[in-house]
């Protein structure tokens, strides 16, 4: 693909705005080394040429067929990492998504969605801005997908992640929906390993804290015609994460009736930026009504509830020892946290039902006392209790005061497995470091 992927000059020098905006601390200086000579796929140094020859074995087509040979990553250490003092300051109160670690992982793909292509130039390098052609397809037609997964520090210092094969499979389902290439599962898992090995010092060890990985894939081909891009980039960045909602206090949620995040046959099951863009205006509406989160419903299924902008929902029927969650209809994102909670609930003998659940059922269930807990779940927040449901013309009161007993205990068990204090009886954990 001669020249069509040409970008501007390699990034060099100090981009102060990068440091200021990405780290929130104007004097941070975490991201100051932007001399990343291998950013350009065609700057074939000896090393990258060698890498290309190896990576040539990593051939995939859009159906994910591949050879078994794992891709090899080159390494370029950030020459200007965060100082120990700055990192300590950040790790003392990491928040969520505010700070980024010293390195990132990148892999290029060239090919054709239909006939296949090749992942190459896998590298660990200094975290910093990407240089993309203004005509890059991602800016125009939104071919973009992402994942969210955490690394957990165990008591012996080792670092583990939770069910990464699930995220790898979901990334590939999302990729298929958006006509992006398949990334081999072992490359996905290796990319997490590579990043956290480079940035191990950034893995927090406090309660509820983790290293949040944000893998993402973007269409980078400079071409305004409408077809799947022939140049794609996969990147992983890392961010230390505190407790997403602090100590889980119930959050009131807003019922979006004006806006939907997904529709029949749409991209609701894909983890793509577009779904989040579609949900933002609803989120603002929620905030105007005193709610931090928004829930969407499906008007074509008797107002059955779907999910929040970035989290699944479930309901506990305490007296019946039952957990109900909306079934996967094609408009709901299949959360790894959701499916893990369903398993843990089954293990305890709780009846699990995946089926449509309507607003009326919610309202009546809270009124009768049958529904005793309502919760949201996702990697970032794990399990968070839901308080009131607010809508334009009605409210459903909170099902429980504070964090309900069953959901709280499920959260403790799940976090225990993730952080190594509860036996991993399902083999969900993968060691990274
Ligand atoms: C990521 C996401 C979830 C939660 O998925 P987990 O794998 O549990 O983190 C739920 N809903 C949407 C829309 C999401 O994007």
* Contacts of 293 by beta carbon, 8 Å cutoff, 6+ apart: 251, 253, 254, 283, 286, 308, 309, 311, 376, 386
Report the pLDDT value the prediction gives residue 26, as an integer from 0 to 100.
33
Q: Which residue has the higher pLDDT, 58 or 339?
A: 339
Overall average pLDDT of the 160-166 stretch: 98
Indicate the class that CATH gives domain 251-420: alpha beta
CA nearest ligand 1 atom 1, residue: 310
Overall average pLDDT of the 207-215 stretch: 95
Report the pLDDT value the prediction gives residue 27, as an integer from 0 to 100.
32
Contact (Cβ atoms closer than 8 angstroms) between residue 116 and residue 61: yes
Write out the DSSP string of 26-57. Answer: TT--SS-----TTSSTT---HHHHHHHHHHTT
Q: Give 47-72 pLDDT, tens digit per residue.
A: 333 333 333 334 443 444 444 467 99
Count other C-beta atoms under 10 Å from residue 224's C-beta: 9
Calculate how far, in angstroms, residue 245's C-alpha sits from the geometric centre of ligand 1: 16
Phi then psi for residue 88, to 5 deg, are -60, -40
* Contacts of 373 by beta carbon, 8 Å cutoff, 6+ apart: 315, 316, 318, 385, 399, 400, 404, 405, 406, 407
| Ligand 1 atom at minimum distance from 268 CA | 13
Alpha carbon distance 386, 314 (integer Å): 10
* Contacts of 162 by beta carbon, 8 Å cutoff, 6+ apart: 149, 150, 152, 336, 340, 417, 418, 428, 429, 430
Calculate how far, in angstroms, residue 269's C-alpha sits from the geometric centre of ligand 1: 10
Contact (Cβ atoms closer than 8 angstroms) between residue 144 and residue 240: no
Calculate how far, in angstroms, residue 335's C-alpha sits from the geometric centre of ligand 1: 5
Domain 74-241 falls under CATH 3.30.470.10: yes
Q: Give 256-300 pLDDT, tens digit per residue.
A: 999 999 888 999 999 999 999 999 999 999 999 999 999 999 878
Q: Which residue has the higher pLDDT, 405 or 28?
A: 405
By three-state DSSP, how is residue 115 classified?
coil
Could you give the angle at the alpha carbon of 336 between the alpha carbons of 333 and 342, nearest 5°?
Answer: 100
Helix ranges (DSSP H) in 62-107: 84-92
Residue where the block lists tokens 């429980």: 400
Report the pLDDT value the prediction gives residue 31, as an integer from 0 to 100.
36
Report the pLDDT value the prediction gives residue 294, as an integer from 0 to 100.
97
- Cα 130 off chain centre by: 19
Alpha carbon distance 280, 309 (integer Å): 8
Say how many Å lie between the first and final Cα of the chain, rounded. Answer: 38
Q: Which of 145, 146, 148 to mutate to test the pocket of ligand 1 (most atoms within 8 A of CB)?
A: 148
Residue 38 has pLDDT above 60, yes or no: no
Q: Which of 328, 378, 382, 411 to mutate to test the pocket of ligand 1 (most atoms within 8 A of CB)?
A: 378
Q: Give 111-160 pLDDT, tens digit per residue.
A: 999 999 999 999 999 999 999 999 999 999 999 999 999 999 999 999 99
Please report which confidence band the pLDDT of residue 365 belongs to, taking 50, 70 and 90 as the band edges: very high
| Ligand 1 atom at minimum distance from 261 CA | 13
Report the pLDDT value the prediction gives residue 40, as an integer from 0 to 100.
34
Report the pLDDT value the prediction gives residue 384, as an integer from 0 to 100.
94
Residue 4 has pLDDT above 70, yes or no: no
Q: Which of 177, 312, 314 to mutate to test the pocket of ligand 1 (most atoms within 8 A of CB)?
A: 312
* Contacts of 433 by beta carbon, 8 Å cutoff, 6+ apart: 158, 159, 193, 196, 197, 200, 203
Residue 2 has pLDDT above 80, yes or no: no
CA nearest ligand 1 atom 2, residue: 310
Please report which confidence band the pLDDT of residue 427 belongs to, taking 50, 70 and 90 as the band edges: very high
Q: Give 341-362 pLDDT, tens digit per residue.
A: 999 999 999 999 999 999 999 9
Q: How many CA atoms lie within 13 A of 117 on its CB side?
A: 23
195, two tokens: 């990043």
Alpha carbon distance 268, 280 (integer Å): 15
Instruction: Give residue limits of the domains in the chain.
Output: 74-241, 251-420
Strands 371-378 and 116-126: unpaired
Alpha carbon distance 304, 360 (integer Å): 9
Report the pLDDT value the prediction gives residue 184, as an integer from 0 to 100.
98
Residue 29 has pLDDT above 70, yes or no: no
Question: What residues are in contact with ligand 1 under a 6 Å CB criterion?
Answer: 148, 271, 307, 310-312, 333, 335-338, 378-379
Alpha carbon distance 25, 34 (integer Å): 18
Query: Residue 222 carries which DSSP code?
Result: B
Q: Give 64-112 pLDDT, tens digit per residue.
A: 444 446 799 999 999 999 999 999 999 999 999 999 999 999 999 999 9
Residue 431 has pLDDT above 80, yes or no: yes
Q: What is the mean pLDDT of the chain?
A: 86
Strands 116-126 and 103-112: antiparallel
By three-state DSSP, how is residue 90 classified?
helix
Report the pLDDT value the prediction gives residue 42, as an integer from 0 to 100.
32
Count other C-beta atoms under 10 Å from residue 305's C-beta: 23
Share of the chain above pLDDT 90, in %: 79
Write out the DSSP string of 333-372. Answer: ---HHHHHHHHHHHHTT-EEEES--BHHHHHHHHHHT-EE
């Amino acid at each position: 693909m001669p020249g069509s992927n040409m970008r501007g000059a390699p990034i060099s020098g100090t981009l102060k705005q990068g440091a200021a905006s990405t780290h929130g601390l104007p004097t941070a200086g975490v991201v100051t080394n932007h001399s990343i000579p291998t950013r350009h796929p065609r700057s074939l140094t000896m090393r990258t040429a060698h890498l290309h020859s190896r990576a040539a074995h990593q051939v995939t087509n859009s159906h994910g067929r591949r050879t078994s040979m794992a891709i090899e990553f080159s390494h370029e250490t950030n020459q200007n990492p965060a100082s120990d003092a700055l990192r300590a300051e950040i790790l003392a109160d990491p928040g969520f998504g505010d700070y980024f670690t010293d390195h990132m992982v990148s892999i290029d793909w060239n090919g054709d969605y239909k006939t296949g292509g090749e992942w190459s130039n896998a590298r660990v390098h200094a975290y910093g801005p990407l240089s993309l052609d203004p005509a890059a397809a991602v800016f125009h037609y939104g071919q973009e997908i992402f994942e969210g997964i955490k690394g957990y520090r165990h008591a012996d210092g080792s670092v583990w992640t939770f069910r990464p094969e699930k995220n790898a499979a979901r990334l590939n389902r999302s990729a298929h929906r958006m006509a992006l290439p398949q990334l081999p599962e072992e490359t996905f898992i290796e990319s997490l390993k590579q990043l956290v090995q480079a940035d191990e010092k950034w893995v927090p060890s406090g309660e509820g804290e983790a290293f949040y990985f944000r893998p993402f894939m973007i269409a980078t081909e400079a071409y305004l015609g409408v077809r799947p891009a022939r140049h794609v980039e996969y990147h992983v960045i890392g961010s230390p994460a505190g407790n997403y909602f602090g100590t889980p206090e119930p959050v009131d949620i807003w019922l979006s009736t004006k806006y939907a995040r997904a529709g029949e046959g749409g991209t609701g099951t894909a983890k793509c930026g577009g779904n989040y863009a579609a949900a933002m205006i609803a989120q603002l509406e929620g905030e105007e009504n005193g709610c931090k989160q928004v829930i969407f419903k499906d008007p074509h299924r008797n107002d059955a509830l779907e999910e929040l902008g970035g989290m699944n929902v479930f309901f506990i029927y305490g007296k019946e020892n039952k957990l109900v969650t909306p079934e996967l209809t094609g408009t709901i994102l299949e959360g790894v946290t959701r499916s893990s909670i369903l398993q843990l609930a089954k293990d305890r003998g709780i009846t699990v039902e995946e089926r449509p659940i309507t607003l009326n059922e919610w309202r009546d269930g809270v009124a009768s006392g049958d529904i005793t807990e309502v919760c949201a779940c996702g990697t970032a927040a794990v399990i968070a209790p839901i308080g009131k449901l607010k809508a334009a013309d009605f409210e459903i009161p909170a099902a429980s005061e504070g964090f309900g007993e069953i959901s709280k205990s499920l959260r403790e068990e799940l976090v225990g497995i993730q952080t190594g204090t509860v036996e991993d009886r399902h083999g969900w954990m993968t060691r990274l470091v």
